[in-house]
């Protein structure tokens, strides 16, 4: 059975790419034909390709650097929101083109499992009129909400969770990555969140935690 998923977050540097790589590697081990894209990336440096999210995804897919446009066709130098990064280069991201690129990826019958990694959080501006939330609703596929365990994450998570629900998005799971800075603790953060989130499974990974059973659970929720 074909599975598609959009990986979003409460913000930047939360752990979306780390989760994407875990899912790619586990799916490959399960003999699934996997494809993954990160259509938009800012703060991109071609000279350090394999230190960027795009390069990390290419490596996980065992794909050549010549396939960079198949992973991230919208690449920007400045580490800013897509609308601002594009403007600095006198460019503009056409929302319709972005949607078409993503839909072509998830509709490709060559793959059993398609991942789309977003940029930043749920409401990051793509251009003057559209946000990542508009892309998510347009694609109409399950979403994994990636969160942290830092101080403030609970509020950020509940805000993102609410806006996703308002738009009737299928949130297959919430995945918490232990934060490096201002870490409150995964268990404490989970206990608080469970008071407010009743119907969506929450799975957490502590640093250097690669437990395959947890990854399998995420895959099974899709």
CATH number at residue 31: 3.40.50.300
SS in 3 state form for the chain? CCEEEEEEECCCCCCHHHHHHHHHHHHHHCCCCEEEECCEECCCCHHHHHHCHHHHHHHHCCCCHHHHHHHCCEECCCCCCHHHHHHHCCCCCCHHHHHHHHHHHHCCCCCCEEEEECCCCCCCECCCCCEHHHHHHHHCCCEEEEEECECCHHHHHHHHHHHHHHCCCCEEEEEEECCCCCECCHHHHHHHHCCCCCCCCEEEECCCCCCHHHHHHHHHHC
Q: Give strand pairing partners of 35.
A: 114
Main-chain dihedrals φ then ψ at residue 205, nearest 5 degrees: -125, 120
Residue at token pair 């694609």: 139
Query: Is residue 9 a contact partner of residue 146, using CB atoms and an 8 Å limit?
Result: yes
Residue at token pair 């060559």: 110
What pLDDT was estimated at residue 179?
A: 97
What pLDDT was estimated at residue 109?
A: 86
From the list 131, 220, 127, the residue with the least C-alpha distance to 167 is 131
Name the CA dihedral angle for 148, 152, 156, 158, rounded to a multiple of 10 degrees. 100
Look at the chain and report how many structural domains it folds into.
1
Of the candidates 2, 16, 38, 213, the residue annotated as catalytic is 38
Q: 30 Cβ partners below 8 Å, 6+ apart?
A: 219
Residue at token pair 């998570």: 157
Mean pLDDT of all residues belonging to the chain: 96
What pLDDT was estimated at residue 210?
A: 80
What pLDDT was estimated at residue 186?
A: 97
Which domain does 162 fall in, by range?
A: 3-221
Q: 195 Cβ partners below 8 Å, 6+ apart?
A: none
What pLDDT was estimated at residue 157?
A: 98
Q: Is the pLDDT of residue 155 over 80?
A: yes
CA distance to 12, 87, 110, 115, per residue, from 106 (Å) = 24, 28, 10, 8
Q: What is the pLDDT of residues 112-147, one digit of tens each?
A: 999 999 999 999 999 999 999 999 999 999 999 999
198 is catalytic: no
Q: What is the pLDDT of residues 58-97, one digit of tens each?
A: 999 999 999 999 999 999 999 999 999 999 999 999 999 9
What pLDDT was estimated at residue 207?
A: 85
């Amino acid at each position: 059975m074909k599975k598609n998923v959009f990986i979003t977050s409460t913000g930047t540097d939360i752990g979306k790419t780390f989760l994407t790589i875990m899912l790619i590697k586990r799916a490959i081990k399960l003999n699934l034909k996997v494809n993954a894209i990160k259509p938009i990336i800012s703060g991109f440096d071609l000279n350090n390709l394999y230190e960027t999210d795009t390069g990390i995804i290419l490596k996980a897919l065992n794909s050549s650097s010549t396939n960079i446009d198949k992973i991230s066709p919208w690449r920007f130098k400045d580490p800013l929101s897509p609308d601002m990064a594009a403007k600095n280069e006198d460019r503009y991201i056409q929302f319709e083109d972005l949607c078409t690129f993503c839909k072509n990826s998830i509709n490709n019958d060559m793959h059993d499992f398609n991942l789309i990694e977003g940029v930043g959080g749920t409401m990051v501006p793509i251009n003057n009129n559209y946000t990542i939330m508009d892309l998510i609703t347009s694609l109409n596929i399950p979403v994994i909400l990636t969160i942290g365990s830092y101080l403030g994450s609970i509020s950020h998570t509940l805000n993102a969770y609410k806006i996703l629900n308002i738009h009737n998005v299928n949130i297959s799971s919430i995945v918490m990555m232990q934060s490096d800075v201002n870490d409150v603790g995964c268990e404490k953060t989970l206990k608080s969140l469970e008071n407010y989130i009743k119907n969506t499974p929450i799975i957490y990974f502590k640093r250097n935690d690669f437990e395959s059973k947890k990854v399998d659970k995420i895959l099974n929720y899709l």
